[in-house]
């Protein structure tokens, strides 16, 4: 019997287990995360700062308008040892704006100043780097930047206009100081620098839109730092712009035609960008009429100039025409004595409307020729006392018709015009006092005293004689008069005989008068009694 053939059956197919899906999903998720991270991760930029204070790799964030757009990935010292290079890993979203050459980076730290408090959020979140990027993409990308030590003056997209102020010094102004228009905050000081000549300071400020349309070429700017106190005959005038301006200073501006003395046409055209203005000390100085170019004058005073200071006013009948700019002591070798040479700046335009009349009277001559005609008519300079208590003096220009005419004005120097001078009020007073003292010295007080002493001795001797000789006789005469008055009193006394007889006589006279009055009444009633007599009594 043949052997049975084995039955051949195919084996079962290999099947995958469901457990393999877990690592497969993990691989897919990791790959997707890697792809997502790669898509979201932007380029790495390098920013150079002077110091890396507060910065840390993997912790310090890069923020744009307080939104995180990157993170510091590495820190290292620059090759030239002049700063620190900070590598920042940017996010892909928005990196094309941040990588432009006009982007600015700065470190935000907490700061406290008079202009305000900034960076308080860093007390909780830590120091971070802020970036200001243009709002439009222009040009190729840039990956190397130099960081700012302070925030930029004006951030991108801020609407407004930037201008420049020229001032003698910075004063209390600083970056961030407010700019006010009608006490409304309309801008800030964004920077300052020394002028090229070193004689002034250029202050950059930015006025936000729409307020920048009020800044015209005729706008006047003044410093409102602190409290402005003005003492005048009308009293004390105090101006306080606000507590913030008192603490941190401020700048205010107004239009030139806001004063009644402005006679020009108001210019409403907004000023151009970076237009330069002058910063005045006070509002009155800013809104005052323009002085125009000054005329330099020089005066020679042979008297003491004690109390006269640089900056003292040059006055003409109460109108301040200028100020003293220099006082020097010089020596005259011919006359062999010292004198004071005083220089001053005059502003003829301060005559206002009278200046046109002066020009017409001088046949259109101006400047030195105009003042020379005034000198020919008796104008002189004189020192006068501004305050008797403090001894301050000022220079007064006035007309003195009785002064001698001069053929040549006072010596000039440096192109300044010479103005003749007359003795000042104080000097004249001193001369008068000196003259009185000289006259008093000429009085022979010693001889007068000796004669007066002799006269007093003679009077004393006469009084002694009167006391020794005339006084006893006068006393006796007075006693005799007293005795006479006593006798008269006894004679006229109430108990004196003479007075009693006088009273009896008066009684008789009174009775006689009564009898006569009775007779008169009877005769008036019976006038026939004078002829017939008294009628007989009728017997019944």
DSSP string, 5-41: PPPP-PPPPP---GGGHHHHHHHHHHHHHHHHHHHHE
349 Cβ contact list (under 8 Å, min separation 6): 289, 290, 291, 292, 355
CA 196 distance to own-chain centroid: 30
353 Cβ contact list (under 8 Å, min separation 6): none
* pLDDT on residue 410: 46
- Calculate the alpha carbon distances from 250 to 33, 174, 245, 247, 480 in Å: 55, 9, 5, 9, 103
Q: Which among 186, 189, 194 is positioned nearest to 214, based on CA atoms?
A: 186
Placement of tokens 């730092």 in the chain: 225
Q: What secondary structure, in 3-state letters, does 477-532 show?
A: HHHHHHHHHHHHHHHCCCCCHHHHHHHHHHHHHHHHHHHHHHHHHHHHHCCCHHHH
Domain ranges, ordered by start, for the chain: 33-146, 160-287, 295-424
φ and ψ at 253, to 5 degrees?
Answer: -145, 160
Q: Is 115 helix (H, G, I), strand (E, B) or coil?
A: coil
* pLDDT on residue 386: 79
Per-residue tokens: 235: 């009293």
- Write the DSSP symbol of residue 469: I
- Write the DSSP symbol of residue 55: -
- Please state the rounded mean pLDDT for residues 13-36: 72
Cα separation, 167 vs 177, in Å, equals: 15
pLDDT bucket at 172, cuts 50 / 70 / 90: confident
Residues 382-403 have pLDDT tens digits of 888 877 667 788 888 888 877 7
Q: Which among 114, 59, 117 is positioned nearest to 88, based on CA atoms?
A: 59
Cα separation, 52 vs 76, in Å, equals: 9
**To the nearest 10°, the Cα dihedral for 508, 512, 515, 520?**
-160
Cα separation, 166 vs 276, in Å, equals: 7
Per-residue tokens: 256: 């030139």
pLDDT bucket at 214, cuts 50 / 70 / 90: very high
Exposed / middle / buried, residue 362 (Cβ in 10 Å: 0-12, 13-18, 19+):
middle
Placement of tokens 């000023």 in the chain: 271
- Please state the rounded mean pLDDT for residues 97-115: 79
Relative to beta strand 220-223, strand 250-254 is antiparallel
Per-residue tokens: 301: 């005073």
- Calculate the alpha carbon distances from 4 to 1, 10, 179 in Å: 9, 19, 115
Bridge partners (DSSP) of residue 277 are 165
Cα separation, 536 vs 540, in Å, equals: 13
pLDDT bucket at 371, cuts 50 / 70 / 90: confident
- Calculate the alpha carbon distances from 455 to 452, 458, 460 in Å: 5, 5, 9
* pLDDT on residue 431: 60
Residues 346-363 have pLDDT tens digits of 887 777 666 666 666 666
Q: Which residue has the higher pLDDT, 145 or 483?
A: 145
Count the neighbouring beta carbons within 10 Å of the beta carbon of residue 109.
14
Q: Give every strand in the sheet of 319-332, ordered side by side.
A: 379-387, 392-399, 313-316, 319-332, 337-346, 295-301, 417-419
Residues 483-538 have pLDDT tens digits of 777 776 666 666 666 566 677 777 788 888 887 788 777 777 777 766 666 666 55
Cα separation, 494 vs 189, in Å, equals: 115
Residues 132-143 have pLDDT tens digits of 888 888 888 899
Q: What share of the chain is helix, strand, coil (3-state, %, to 5)?
A: 30, 30, 40
Is the pLDDT at 208 greater than 90, yes or no?
A: yes
Residues 72-87 have pLDDT tens digits of 999 999 988 889 999 9
Cα separation, 519 vs 525, in Å, equals: 10
Q: What is the mean pLDDT of the chain?
A: 78
* pLDDT on residue 232: 47
Percent of the chain with pLDDT strictly greater than 90: 16
CA count, 13 A, side-chain hemisphere, 158:
19
DSSP string, 293-355: S-EEEEEEESS--TT--TT-EEEETTEEEEEEEEEEEEEETTTTEEEEEEEEEE-GGGGTHHH
Placement of tokens 């009594």 in the chain: 537
Per-residue tokens: 471: 């006084």
Residue 148 near residue 103, CB atoms below 8 Å: no
Per-residue tokens: 423: 């003795």
Cα separation, 92 vs 115, in Å, equals: 37
Exposed / middle / buried, residue 299 (Cβ in 10 Å: 0-12, 13-18, 19+):
buried
Q: Which residue has the higher pLDDT, 369 or 449?
A: 449
* pLDDT on residue 538: 56
Is the pLDDT at 220 greater than 60, yes or no?
A: yes
* pLDDT on residue 536: 61
Q: Which residue has the higher pLDDT, 440 or 80?
A: 80
């Amino acid at each position: 019997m043949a052997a049975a053939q084995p039955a051949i059956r195919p084996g079962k197919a290999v099947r995958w287990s469901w457990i393999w899906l877990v690592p497969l999903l993990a691989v897919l998720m990791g790959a997707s995360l890697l792809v997502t991270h790669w898509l979201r991760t932007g380029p790495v930029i390098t920013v150079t700062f002077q110091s890396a204070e507060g910065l840390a790799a993997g912790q310090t964030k890069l923020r744009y308008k307080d939104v995180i757009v990157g993170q510091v990935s590495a820190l290292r010292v620059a090759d030239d040892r002049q700063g620190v290079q900070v590598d920042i890993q940017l996010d892909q979203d928005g990196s094309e704006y941040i990588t432009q050459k006009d982007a600015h980076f700065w470190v935000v730290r907490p700061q406290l100043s008079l202009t305000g408090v900034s960076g308080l959020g860093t007390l909780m979140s830590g120091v971070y780097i802020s970036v200001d990027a243009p709002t439009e993409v222009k040009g190729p990308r840039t990956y190397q930047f130099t960081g700012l030590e302070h925030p930029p003056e004006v951030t991108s997209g801020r609407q407004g206009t930037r201008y420049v102020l020229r001032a003698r010094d910075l004063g209390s102004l600083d970056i961030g100081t407010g700019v006010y228009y009608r006490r409304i905050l309309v801008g800030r000081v964004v920077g300052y620098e020394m002028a090229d000549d070193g004689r002034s300071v250029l202050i950059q400020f930015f006025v936000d839109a729409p307020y920048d349309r009020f800044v015209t070429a005729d706008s006047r700017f003044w410093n409102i730092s602190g409290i402005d106190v003005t003492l005048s005959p009308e009293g004390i005038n105090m101006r306080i712009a606000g507590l913030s301006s008192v603490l941190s200073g401020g700048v205010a501006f107004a239009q030139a035609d806001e004063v009644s003395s402005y006679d020009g046409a108001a210019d409403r055209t907004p000023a151009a960008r970076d237009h330069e203005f002058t910063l005045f000390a006070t509002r009155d100085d800013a809104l005052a009429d323009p002085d125009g170019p000054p005329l330099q004058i020089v005066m020679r005073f042979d008297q003491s100039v004690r109390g006269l200071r640089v900056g003292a006013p040059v006055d003409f009948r109460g109108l301040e025409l200028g100020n003293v700019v220099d006082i020097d002591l010089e020596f005259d070798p011919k006359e062999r004595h010292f004198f004071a040479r005083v220089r001053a700046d005059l502003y003829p335009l301060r005559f206002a409307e009278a200046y046109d009349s002066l020009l017409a009277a001088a046949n259109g001559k101006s400047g030195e020729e105009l003042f020379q005609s005034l000198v020919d008519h008796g104008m002189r300079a004189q020192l006068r006392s501004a305050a008797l208590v403090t001894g301050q003096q000022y220079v007064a220009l006035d007309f003195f018709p009785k002064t001698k005419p001069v053929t040549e004005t006072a010596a000039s120097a440096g192109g300044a015009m010479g103005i003749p001078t007359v003795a000042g009020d104080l000097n004249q007073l001193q001369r008068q006092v000196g003259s009185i003292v000289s006259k008093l010295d000429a009085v022979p007080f010693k001889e007068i005293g000796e004669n007066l002493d002799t006269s007093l001795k003679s009077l004393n001797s006469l009084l002694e004689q009167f006391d020794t000789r005339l006084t006893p006789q006068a006393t006796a005469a007075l006693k005799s008069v007293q005795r006479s008055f006593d006798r008269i009193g006894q004679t006229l006394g109430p108990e004196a005989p003479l007075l009693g007889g006088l009273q009896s006589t008066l009684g008789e006279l009174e009775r006689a008068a009564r009898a006569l009055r009775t007779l008169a009444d009877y005769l008036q009633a019976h006038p026939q009694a004078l002829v017939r007599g008294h009628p007989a009594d009728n017997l019944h």
